[in-house]
Copies of this chain bind each other. A is one copy, B any other.
């Protein structure tokens, strides 16, 4: 559990956070102009809570209002380059009204700490080339790898 300033707490999701998480998950989809079926929410949440599945979610909670204002979903997977897994931050979202307060940074910092505890400290993520607001943060807590990402046609 980590603390941003005096009023935000970052912690793993629990069963009770589902609704709050879903609200941000919807906003996140809007931001990326994608739309997932509701069943995927259920499936993801089950994976987050299952101790046997290496997929997790953390939320940032405003400790005054109790409101969930940020979420970060991450998972770990193998790599041929190491004995250890790598941790991939799949999604990060902070409520529009809570931006520029260090919440995004705290969420990533939470992942770093969990990755360290898991002894898989190698963490990476992707963002839209044109998302400069996000990258103002990312260049402070990480670095841009000089890589191009390719996808199979149609996917």
Contact = CB atoms under 8 A, between A and B. Distances in A.
Given A40-B82, A80-B91, A90-B81, A150 B127 contact: yes
Interface in A111-133: 112, 115, 121-130, 132-133
Nearest to A142: B150
Given A36-B81, A139-B132, A123 B151 contact: yes
Interface residues of A, number: 54
Contacts of A83: 39-40, 43
A120 to B, nearest CB: 10
Q: Is the interface of A mostly helix, strand, loop or mixed?
A: mixed
A44 B15 CA distance: 37
A136 B139 contact: no
A39 B125 CA distance: 28
B151 A130 contact: no
A82 to B, nearest CB: 7
A33 interface: no
A27 to B, nearest CB: 15
Nearest to A82: B40
